[in-house]
Amino acid sequence: MCEQCGCQSPQPGGKAAEKNPKTMLLEVNRRLLAANDKQAAANRRLAEEKLGAVVINLISSPGGGKTTLLAATIDRLAGRRKIGVLEGDIETERDAERLRAHGIPVVALTTGGACHLDAPLVNRGLQQLAAKEDRLDLVFIENVGNLVCPATFDLGEHYRVVLLSVPEGSDKPAKYPRAFLTSQVFLVSKTDLLPHFDFSLDEVRQDALGINPDLKILPLAAKDGVGLDAWLAWLETLFP
Ligand X SMILES: Nc1nc2c(ncn2[C@@H]2O[C@H](COP(=O)(O)OP(=O)(O)OP(=O)(O)O)[C@@H](O)[C@H]2O)c(=O)[nH]1
Q: How many residues bind ligand X (CB under 6 A)?
A: 17
- Residue from the set 36, 57, 65, 172 that interacts with ligand X by CB under 6 A: 65
Beta bridge partners, 83, equal 138
Type of residue found at 8:
Q
Q: Which is nearer to ligand X, 62 or 210 (CB)?
A: 62
**SS3 of 96, please?**
helix
Min CB(85)–ligand X separation in Å: 11
**SS3 of 126, please?**
helix
d(CA 185, CA 156): 16
Interaction between residue 64 and ligand X (CB under 6 A): yes
Alpha helices in the chain (DSSP H): 21-46, 66-77, 94-100, 119-132, 172-175, 177-181, 201-211, 228-236
Q: Which is nearer to ligand X, 130 or 235 (CB)?
A: 235
Binding partner of residue 63 among Mg ion, ligand X, none, CB cut-off 5 to 8 Å per kind:
ligand X
Q: Which is nearer to ligand X, 222 or 235 (CB)?
A: 222
Residues 95-134 that bind Mg ion (CB under 5 A): 95
Min CB(142)–Mg ion separation in Å: 6
Interface pattern 49-88 for Mg ion (x via CB under 5 A): -----------------xx---------------------
Q: What is the 3 state secondary structure string of 51-91? A: HCCEEEEEECCCCCCHHHHHHHHHHHHCCCCCEEEEEEECC
By the criterion CB under 6 A, which residues form the site for ligand X?
60, 62-68, 95, 145, 189-190, 192-193, 221-223
